[in-house]
Structure 1
Amino acid sequence: MSLTNGLKTDRLDLIRSHLYANGFSSIQDIADAVGASLATVRRDLQVLQEAGAIDRVHGGARIAEGTSVELAFQEREKRQLAAKRAIAAHAYELLSPRTAIFLDAGTTVLQLAKLIRINPIPLRIFTNGLIVAQEFINVPNLEVVLVGGQLRSENASLVGPQAEAMLESIWFDQLFLGASAISNDGAIYSVDSAEASVNRKMLARSNSKFVLTDSTKFGTTATYKVAPLSEAKLITDDGLSNEWRTQLEKAGVETLFADQGAKS
């Protein structure tokens, strides 16, 4: 590859990254972001459009609709980010070297995966999350196993009978599980039946179980029940209401509170 082509490839990557981070952008905004002329950006956008990576719309561009799943996951990842990072930091302190852990596909658990990538310790990691697994590419001291199954695009996770059959033959020292909702009945809920089913199997195959979820998920509802929250220990942020704290105490749920201020 020539130097010129290399620079062009880098610029195309910059344009894609800018559109991922900012959504629809005008040609001028893109030119300012990547340090190129308007004419150059127009040519680059044509190349990206022909490759199916972007859509040209209304004097600017956006990521192509076909990548909306990744974008949706990224948007969920950004919500309550300070709380998620604080929860993940608390969970990281509970890890023990040379143990087998399972990380589910949730966005809070993803923050734990990012911490493990930055500060790796010897672990055998199992996950059904594609984006979670990507965090561990070329990271030393980790043995990583991606659980197979049917792809659930909405969460970039692998679910279904094949995933559950694989889980049936493995035992985990620790499970770190996210939650779509914690309903007023004190149970974990999911928006997807297959996700709920594979989550139940994770719980059944783990010694120490931790639910990682921020305080905004409490008092919300989703369709499919996973399990009572009392089946696991809970790690949440210090923004949880006093009413919920009392309810959890009465239900005997061991709860660990992460300080958002310390990790924001």
Structure 2
Amino acid sequence: MFPEERRKEIVTLLMANQSISVKELCDTLNASEATIRRDLTLLEQEGKIERTHGGAMISSSINVTEEPSFFQKESRYHDEKLRIAERAFDLIKENDSVVLDSGTTTLELAGLIGESTIPLVVVTNSTMAAHLIAKNEKVELYTVGGKVRLNTLATVGNLAIDSLRRFNVNKAFIGSNGITIESGLTTPDLAEADVKRVMMNMASEVTVLVDHSKFNKVALCEAGPISKIDRIITDTGLEQYILDQYLRYDIDVIRV
């Protein structure tokens, strides 16, 4: 087993058991105590685990199971989200076709599109984003139907997914509740995760918009692996050692 695979398995075991001893890890992974202790040291430095006497436990910051409301999330790191959205807007060119999901940072991007006069085709499942984008008369705007989640005011479910699969776009701009190398993008709601996954698959280029607080956090449902991501735009609060992990996977990481 390669070291990276072994460390991923350690995190998986801790997610399932919350805590585990070094001896149990040695027996399960068929590795020496010295190897396991080196792995635990690295994972602790990455913020994924917390060392305990004789073992480790999952970091208190890595398992996101509860989802705050859209309006609670909107007020967090607002200045950082606006800077991220402004940098994302710079990537959009005239006559691009883009898809936006229902994140709070993508909502900031929707506002910038709506305030501009750039001609675009935009697809979104966010009722709030659609309202903002519609202010730009040069946008050909498509909203997808489905059940509206009151927590995010986004459409989800089979109707939304069936609608999205009828489109191919140049660029996707996706938010996330959590992002890690092992689990990729994650969100607390399965229906939201399904929509994000389809959006990532329908785009030629995927840009993830997340502030630094979303890194090394894992929510309940996986939305897509990091192999689907071309670019991440985040803020300067992201620590260098975390950034370096993503650069090793040829993902362009922009801090603003």
* TM-score between both structures, scaled by the size of structure 2: 0.70
Alignment of 1:218-229 (within 5 A): 218-229=215-226
Is the 8 Å Cα contact of residues 178 and 219 (structure 2) preserved in structure 1? yes
Structure 2 residue aligned with 1:89: 86
1:108 aligns with 2:105: yes
Q: How far apart, in 2, do the equivalents of 1:121 and 1:92 lie?
A: 10
Structure 2 gap segments, 5+ residues each: 1-67
Is the 8 Å Cα contact of residues 87 and 235 (structure 1) preserved in structure 2? yes
Q: Which moved more, 1:130-139 or 1:190-199?
A: 130-139
Q: How far apart, in 1, do the equivalents of 2:111 and 2:72 lie?
A: 17
Secondary structure of the corresponding residue to residue 198 of structure 1: helix
Q: How far apart, in 2, do the equivalents of 1:83 and 1:222 lie?
A: 21
Q: Measure how far apart 1:137 and its partner are.
A: 3.3
Q: Which residue identity is paired with 1:115?
A: L
Structure 1 residue aligned with 2:254: 256
Q: How far apart, in 1, do the equivalents of 2:85 and 2:232 lie?
A: 12
User: Larger radius of gyration, structure 1 or 2?
Assistant: 1
Structure 2 residue aligned with 1:214: 211
Q: Measure how far apart 1:252 and its partner are.
A: 2.3
Moved over 4 A (4+): none
Q: How far apart, in 2, do the equivalents of 1:193 and 1:178 lie?
A: 15
1:178-229 deviation per Cα after TM superposition (whole angstroms, max 9, x unaligned): 0011135251101100111111111111111100000110011200011122
Structure 2 residue aligned with 1:24: none
2:131 paired residue among 105, 127, 134: 134
Structure 1 residue aligned with 2:175: 178
Q: Which residue identity is paired with 1:123?
A: L
Structure 2 residue aligned with 1:196: 193
Give the alignment's Cα RMSD to 1 decimal.
Answer: 1.5
Q: Which residue identity is paired with 1:254?
A: D
Secondary structure of the corresponding residue to residue 142 of structure 2: strand
Structure 1 residue aligned with 2:146: 149
Structure with greater helix share of residues: 1
Structure 2 residue aligned with 1:239: 237
Q: How far apart, in 2, do the equivalents of 1:85 and 1:166 lie?
A: 29
Q: How far apart, in 1, do the equivalents of 2:143 and 2:104 lie?
A: 17
Q: How far apart, in 2, do the equivalents of 1:119 and 1:138 lie?
A: 9
Is the 8 Å Cα contact of residues 113 and 136 (structure 2) preserved in structure 1? no
Q: Which residue identity is paired with 1:191?
A: P
Q: How far apart, in 1, do the equivalents of 2:136 and 2:255 lie?
A: 29
Q: Measure how far apart 1:103 and its partner are.
A: 0.8
Structure 2 residue aligned with 1:51: none
Structure 1 residue aligned with 2:58: none
Is the 8 Å Cα contact of residues 115 and 135 (structure 2) preserved in structure 1? no
Q: Measure how far apart 1:230 and its partner are.
A: 3.1
Q: How far apart, in 2, do the equivalents of 1:213 and 1:118 lie?
A: 22
Secondary structure of the corresponding residue to residue 208 of structure 2: strand
Q: Measure how far apart 1:132 and its partner are.
A: 0.7
Secondary structure of the corresponding residue to residue 154 of structure 1: coil
Q: How far apart, in 2, do the equivalents of 1:245 and 1:186 lie?
A: 16
Structure 1 residue aligned with 2:54: none
Amino-acid identity (%): 30
Q: How far apart, in 2, do the equivalents of 1:142 and 1:252 lie?
A: 32
Q: Measure how far apart 1:73 and its partner are.
A: 2.0
For residues 170 and 184 of structure 1, do their structure 2 counterparts lie closer, same or farther at Cα, with a shift above 3 Å needed?
Answer: closer
Q: How far apart, in 1, do the equivalents of 2:189 and 2:136 lie?
A: 31
Structure 2 residue aligned with 1:6: none
